[in-house]
């Protein structure tokens, strides 16, 4: 049987258990992500990219550099490589239908000029907030005002989301006709790239935001819906609980919280009503009166 060979970026780059523990603690402190247990190979492979890029010779040297580099830029790069950014347009598509159904119901007793405010709280490369915008344009009509805030801890994905350029393959999960309606095709003769059109761009605002940094929570208004999906799964229980309580405090009365399909809030202390295993609602104003 041939000997298993190491990936090129790992050759000559061993990681000790002590180094793994030090990096795990750093990742947990900076973004709340749990690395202990089975994540040794994952962390080592991802961090090796930065060790090689900086032409350092060991993880120890890299750890010292991340912790001492004064601008904090390397810490941001480290977070970029450590985080998982898997996403797609209309992922867990039932959420978009439920969002529209609930906003339509609430819209009947509401000033139609008042913009809906939504937040995609771990937006990765932008597919989620742009899907929210398409769902609202289709489901509520182009005349209904809304604003979507889209944030992520990784500055790399926030930059990519702001550029809003997607390959043909990445747009393949869009419902029929949406690509023609909401995207422009670039390079008509070369490899197809699709650029997000103006109707979506003008409704989504991107910025970097760490869900686990209390200082980032500076908001002037509450949200009608928050999508915080497929990110809590990486956090430990106390971090999840604090996060859900912070998000709940930011919801307007009857506001909705969507978590990933596999991220139930069972066992987490919070004050939201469960509409389904991954959809939660803040109480109406009259329900909270004494």
H/E run at residue 183:
strand 183-186
CB of 33 to ligand SAM, least distance (A): 6
Closer by beta carbon to ligand SAM, 66 or else 231: 231
Tell me if 79 sits within 8 A of 30, measured CB to CB.
Answer: yes
For tokens 């992500």, name the residue: 33
H/E run at residue 68:
helix 59-68
Q: Alpha-carbon dihedral of residues 276, 106, 93, 88, nearest 10 degrees?
A: -120
Concatenate the DSSP letters of all residues of 136-147 into one string: HHHHH-TTS-EE
Tell me if 98 sits within 8 A of 279, measured CB to CB.
Answer: yes
CB of 284 to ligand SAM, least distance (A): 27
Q: Active-site residue among 44, 46, 77, 91?
A: 46
CB of 250 to ligand SAM, least distance (A): 14
| Rg value, the chain, Cα | 21
Residues at the contact surface with ligand SAM, assessed by CB under 6 A: 31-33, 83-87, 91, 122, 124, 128, 152-154, 157, 209-212, 229-231, 260
> Quick one: which of 62, 80, 72 has its CA closest to 23?
62
Closer by beta carbon to ligand SAM, 179 or else 229: 229
Closer by beta carbon to ligand SAM, 255 or else 260: 260
213 is catalytic: no
Closer by beta carbon to ligand SAM, 13 or else 182: 182
80 is catalytic: no
Rounded Cα gap, residues 281 and 196, in angstroms: 31
Rounded Cα gap, residues 274 and 284, in angstroms: 14
CB of 28 to ligand SAM, least distance (A): 10
Q: Active-site residue among 44, 50, 152, 229?
A: 152
Closer by beta carbon to ligand SAM, 84 or else 245: 84
Rounded Cα gap, residues 30 and 249, in angstroms: 23
Question: So which residues are the catalytic ones?
Answer: 46, 152
């Amino acid at each position: 049987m041939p000997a298993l060979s190491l990936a090129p970026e790992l050759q000559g780059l061993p990681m000790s258990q002590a180094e793994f523990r030090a990096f795990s603690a750093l990742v947990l402190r900076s973004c709340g992500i749990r690395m202990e247990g089975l994540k040794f190979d994952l962390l080592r492979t991802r961090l090796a990219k930065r060790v090689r890029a900086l032409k350092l010779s060991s993880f120890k040297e890299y750890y010292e550099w991340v912790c001492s580099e004064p601008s904090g830029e390397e810490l941001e790069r480290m977070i970029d490589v450590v985080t998982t950014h898997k996403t797609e347009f209309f992922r867990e598509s039932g959420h978009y239908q439920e969002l529209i159904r609930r906003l339509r119901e609430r819209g009947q007793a509401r000033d139609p000029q008042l913009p809906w405010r939504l937040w995609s709280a771990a937006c990765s490369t932008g597919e989620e907030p742009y899907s929210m915008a398409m769902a609202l344009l289709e489901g509520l009509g182009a005349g209904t005002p809304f604003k979507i805030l889209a944030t992520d801890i990784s500055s790399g994905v926030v930059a990519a989301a702001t550029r809003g350029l997607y390959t043909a393959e990445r747009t393949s999960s869009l419902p029929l006709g949406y690509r023609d309606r909401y995207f422009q095709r670039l390079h008509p003769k070369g490899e197809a790239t699709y650029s997000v059109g103006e109707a979506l761009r003008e409704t989504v605002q991107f910025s970097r935001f760490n869900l686990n940094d209390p200082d980032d929570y500076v908001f002037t208004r509450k949200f009608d819906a928050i999508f915080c999906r497929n990110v809590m799964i990486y956090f430990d229980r106390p971090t999840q609980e604090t996060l859900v309580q912070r998000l709940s405090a930011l919801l307007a009365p009857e506001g909705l919280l969507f978590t990933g399909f596999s991220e139930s809030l069972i066992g987490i202390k919070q004050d939201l009503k469960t509409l389904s295993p991954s959809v939660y609602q803040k109480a109406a104003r009259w329900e909270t009166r004494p």
